[in-house]
């Protein structure tokens, strides 16, 4: 239904309701007032009749007919018993057949209170009559009530006349109001429809045409819409520019970026991601769950779709090595980033091969140098310059041998050629075996080892040689940084919850490590105090070997330290 039709119908209904209300009010109020005026007039006439009624009862019938004729009313004279003694509409013979009026309402009220009024359908004339009765006090003997009645047809005629006049006037007003409402509604509807159409065009992003409106209220809305259109055009242009810039930036990234909605459908994928995944630029992409074909890769995407965050998982996509990272978005979508590390892994392999080859080549000459130097040191006279030179050669040759051995171990672990062979390792025995080679050095420095192994972790499911090397490197590192009289503590306990397994904790009371160095202490050749570590014989590879051995078991290692409060290394071995 259009606005013009609704406005026309509303105004017409209001006017019609007002007219009907006026007609009903005329029937109720006007009828009541007219009947009240008739009753007052009849009361006066009844009192006049009561004042002039003759004393002779035989003259009462003729007096009633004569008086009624003169007044144009029905006049009735009634005695105390309720018998009609005279009536302007009945002759003497008919009076005797009239019923007793003693129970009529107006008669009872007149006898009780002096005046009685009632309006009802007359039994004798079969039309609605208004009856007013007045008690006769001090009148002729035997006469009690004088009643005057008249038909209410005049009242009905007057009321109906007024109602017809109201209806005619109301009909004219209805037509006039309807016509005016139609004109106004049409005048308002056209610009409103045009404004609505302009709003739809704005919402659709198309240029809008605004109507020329002279109504101030509507003109204000038109101006507001014009301003909104200008603002939206500015914002749309800015958003389009930013979107294009983001698209260009995304396409220029060397990393692959894949974005999916909350249902897993891919909504964005740059050229690098398509290249790594093996899809052509014009080729349609499957949902995120079906993007990979290998089962491990699909399991990784299933974790991402389940709302988990993925950090740096290495995937093999054909001949390319890719690091996959992903996280859920606030709107329910998912973001997957693929970083091609093929060249990096190739360089790492070249570096490992180079280190392994150089270490192997150095091992033989170092063995020879050490042997000859030890021979020279044994044959040289004590305290001579030759003996000092030989001891220096032996010390540095042994340090070089330890460095080469550590490099070979690290290369073997990193290359993947070494795999842990797990068995039940008694932790108490492993700790003593690792501590034994440095026990004399610790006793000289008055540094003691405390071992606290929980009853439920007496053994560890791991590679025994790897456990011995881990503890040896940690003990050696702690001993070199713990001052005389200090303590090194080894604690073993069971980890509960999601990360179930065994936790080994090696803590010392040494000088500690500054916070800025903690993230890098597991890097190869990284030393917090390079001069001091080199003087004490450290190679800078011990913690790197520990990290790789632990990760080869599927575990993790974490360092905690503060300057002057010692260092704590926490190692977690997961349950098999």
Q: Output the DSSP codes for 240-263.
A: HHHHHHHHHHHHH-SSEEEEE-TT
Residue 502 lies in a domain: yes
pLDDT in the model for residue 236: 79
Instruction: Judge if 555 and 463 occupy the same domain.
Output: yes
Q: What pLDDT does residue 330 have?
A: 83
Is residue 463, in this structure, part of any structural domain at all? yes
What's the pLDDT band for 112 if we cut at 50, 70, 90?
confident
pLDDT at 104 over 50: yes
**pLDDT above 80 for 409:** no
* pLDDT score for 531: 46
pLDDT at residue number 70: 86
Q: What angle do CA 379, 534, 443 make, to 5 degrees?
A: 75
What's the whole-number mean pLDDT along residues 99-107?
85
Q: Is residue 154 a part of any domain in this protein? A: no
CA-based nearest residue to 529, from 497, 576, 487, 481 = 481
Q: How confident is the model at residue 533 (pLDDT cuts 50, 70, 90)?
A: very low
Is the same domain home to 336 and 355?
Answer: no
- Are residue 433 and residue 542 in the same domain, yes or no? yes
533 and 433 assigned to the same domain: yes
Q: Of 445, 502, 512, 444, whose CA–CA distance to 470 is shortest? A: 502
| pLDDT given for residue 529 in this prediction | 58
Mean pLDDT, the chain, integer = 80
Strand partners, 147: 76, 133
* Residues 315, 285 contacting (CB under 8 angstroms): no
Residues 487 and 469 in one domain: yes
Q: Backbone dihedral region of 527: left (phi > 0), alpha (psi from -120 to 50 degrees) or beta?
A: beta
Q: Rounded mean pLDDT of 175-185?
A: 74
* Segments forming the whole domain that contains residue 314: 253-340
Residue 534: per-residue pLDDT: 47
The mean pLDDT of 256-267, rounded to a whole number, is 86
CATH code where residue 370 lies: 1.10.287
Q: Which residues contact 67 (CB under 8 A, 6 or more apart)?
A: 49, 52, 75, 88
CA gap 212, 187 in Å, rounded: 12
d(Cα 567, Cα 475) in Å, to the nearest integer? 12
Model pLDDT, residue 521:
80
Residue 535 has pLDDT above 50, yes or no: no
How far apart CA 56 and CA 35 sit, in angstroms, is: 34
- The CATH number given to whatever domain includes residue 459 is 3.30.565.10
- pLDDT above 90 covers what percent of the chain? 0
Helical (H) or strand (E) element with 16: helix 3-25
In a domain, 276, yes or no: yes
Contact 427, 457 (CB under 8 A): yes
pLDDT tens, residue by residue, 58-94: 888 888 888 888 888 888 888 888 888 888 888 888 8
Q: How far is CA 151 from CA 45, 145, 202, 480, in A?
A: 15, 20, 74, 134
pLDDT tens digits for range 428-477: 888 898 898 888 888 888 888 988 988 888 888 888 888 888 898 888 88
Please indicate whether residue 397 or residue 352 has the higher confidence score (pLDDT).
397
How far are the Cα atoms of 277, 295, 318, 329 from residue 292, in angstroms, in the given order?
8, 8, 11, 21
The residues that bridge with 284 in the sheet, in sequence order, are none
Asked if residue 475 and residue 332 are part of one domain, the reply reads no
The angle formed by the CA atoms of residues 485, 442 and 403, to the nearest 5 degrees, is 130
Q: For residue 421, count other CB atoms closer than 10 A to its CB.
A: 10
Asked whether residue 476 is assigned to any structural domain, the reply reads yes
Could you tell me if 458 and 496 lie in one domain? Answer: yes
Which residues contact residue 131 at a Cβ distance below 8 angstroms, ignoring those fewer than 6 apart? 104, 106, 116, 117, 118, 119, 120, 147, 148, 149
What pLDDT does residue 417 have?
64
Whole-structure pTM value = 0.45
Cβ count within 10 A of residue 335 = 15
Average pLDDT over residues 488-493: 90
pLDDT reading at 530 higher than 60: no
Q: Are residues 480 and 376 in the same domain?
A: no
547 with 568, same domain? yes
User: Is the confidence at residue 123, as pLDDT, over 70?
Assistant: no
404 shares its domain with 526: no
- Is residue 445 one of the residues assigned to a domain? yes
- CA separation (Å) from 330 to 243, 256, 261, 333, 334? 19, 21, 11, 7, 9
Q: Does residue 57 form part of some domain?
A: no
* Single residue among 317, 340, 363 that ends a domain in this structure: 340
Residue 284's pLDDT band (boundaries 50, 70, 90)? confident
DSSP code string of 320-386: EEEEEEEEE-TTS-EEEEEEE-HHHHHHHHHHHHHHHHHHHHHHHHHHHHHHHHHHHHHHSPTTSHH
Which of 340, 357, 392 marks a domain boundary?
Answer: 340
Closest CA to 434 of 406, 466, 407: 466
**What's the number of domains the chain is made of?**
3
C-alpha distances out from residue 139 to 395, 466, 531, Å: 163, 144, 150
Give me the pLDDT at residue 532, please. 46
Q: pLDDT at position 3, please?
A: 58
Q: Report the CATH number at residue 312.
A: 3.30.450.20
Residue 395 above 80 pLDDT?
no
pLDDT digits (tens, 9 = 90+) for 541-574: 778 888 888 888 888 888 888 888 888 999 998 8
Is position 400 within any domain? yes
Both 371 and 296 in one domain: the answer is no
The whole-number average pLDDT for the span 248-274 is: 84
352 pLDDT band, cuts 50/70/90, is: low
CA distance 55 to 304: 121
Among 340, 355, 377, identify where a domain stops: 340
DSSP states of 460-521: EEE-HHHHHHHHHHHHHHHHHHS-TT-EEEEEEEEE-GGG-EEEEEEEE-S----GGGGGGT
Q: Would the pLDDT of 10 be above 70?
A: yes
- Return the pLDDT at 296: 81
What pLDDT was estimated at residue 442? Answer: 87
Task: Note whether 352 and 335 are same-domain residues.
Answer: no
Q: How far is CA 167 from CA 34, 257, 286, 439, 519, in A?
A: 20, 80, 76, 123, 97
């Amino acid at each position: 239904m259009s606005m013009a039709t609704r406005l026309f119908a509303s105004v017409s209904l209001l006017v019609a309701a007002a007219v009907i209300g006026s007609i009903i009010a005329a029937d109720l109020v006007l009828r009541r007032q007219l009947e009240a005026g008739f009753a007052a007039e009849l009361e006066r006439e009844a009192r006049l009749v009561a004042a002039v009624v003759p004393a002779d009862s035989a003259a009462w019938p003729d007096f009633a007919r004569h008086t009624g004729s003169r007044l144009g009313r029905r006049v009735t004279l009634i005695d105390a018993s309720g018998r009609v003694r005279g009536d302007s509409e009945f002759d003497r013979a008919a009076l005797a057949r009239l019923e007793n009026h003693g129970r009529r309402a107006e008669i009872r009220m007149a006898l009780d209170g002096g005046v009685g009024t009632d309006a009802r359908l007359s039994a004798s004339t079969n039309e609605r009559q208004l009856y007013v009765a007045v008690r006769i006090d001090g009148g002729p003997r035997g006469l009690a009530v004088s009643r005057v009645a008249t038909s209410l047809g005049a009242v009905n005629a007057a009321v109906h006349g007024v109602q017809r006049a109201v209806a005619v006037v109301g009909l004219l007003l209805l037509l006039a109001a309807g016509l005016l409402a139609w004109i106004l509604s049409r005048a308002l509807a056209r610009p409103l429809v045009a404004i609505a159409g302009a709003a739809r065009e704005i919402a659709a992003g198309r240029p809008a045409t605004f109507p020329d409106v002279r109504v101030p209220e509507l003109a204000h809305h038109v101006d507001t819409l014009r301003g909104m259109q200008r603002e939206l055009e500015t914002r749309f242009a800015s958003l389009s520019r930013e979107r294009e810039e983001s698209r260009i930036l995304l396409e220029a990234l060397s990393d692959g970026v894949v974005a999916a909605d909350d249902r897993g459908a891919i909504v964005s994928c740059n050229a690098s991601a398509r290249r790594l995944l093996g899809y052509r630029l014009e080729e349609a992409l499957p949902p995120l769950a079906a993007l990979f074909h290998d089962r491990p890769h699909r399991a990784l995407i299933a974790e991402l779709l389940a709302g988990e965050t993925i950090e740096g998982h290495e995937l093999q996509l054909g001949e390319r090595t890719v690091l996959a990272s992903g996280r859920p978005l606030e709107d329910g979508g998912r973001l997957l980033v693929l970083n091609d590390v093929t060249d990096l892994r190739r360089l790492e392999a070249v570096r490992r091969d180079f280190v392994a080859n150089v270490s192997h080549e150095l091992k033989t000459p170092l063995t020879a140098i050490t042997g000859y130097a030890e021979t020279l040191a044994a044959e040289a006279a004590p305290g001579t310059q030759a003996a000092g030179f030989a001891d220096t050669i032996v010390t540095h040759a042994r340090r070089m041998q330890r460095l080469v051995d550590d490099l070979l171990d690290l290369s073997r672990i990193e290359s993947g050629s070494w795999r842990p062979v797990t068995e039940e390792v008694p932790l108490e025995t492993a700790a003593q075996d690792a501590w034994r080679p440095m026990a004399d050095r610790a006793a000289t420095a008055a540094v003691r080892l405390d071992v606290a192994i929980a009853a439920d972790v007496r053994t560890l499911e791991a590679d025994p040689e790897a456990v011995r090397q881990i503890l040896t490197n940690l003990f050696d590192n702690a001993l070199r940084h713990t001052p005389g009289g200090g303590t090194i503590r080894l604690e073993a306990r069971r980890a509960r919850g999601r990360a179930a397994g065994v936790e080994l904790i090696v803590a010392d009371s040494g000088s500690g490590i500054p916070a800025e160095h903690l993230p890098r202490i597991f890097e190869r050749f990284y030393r917090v105090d390079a001069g001091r570590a080199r003087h004490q014989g450290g190679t800078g590879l011990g913690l790197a070997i520990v990290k790789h051995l632990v990760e080869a078991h599927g575990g993790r290692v974490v360092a905690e330290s503060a300057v002057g409060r010692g260092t704590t290394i926490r190692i977690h071995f997961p349950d098999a």
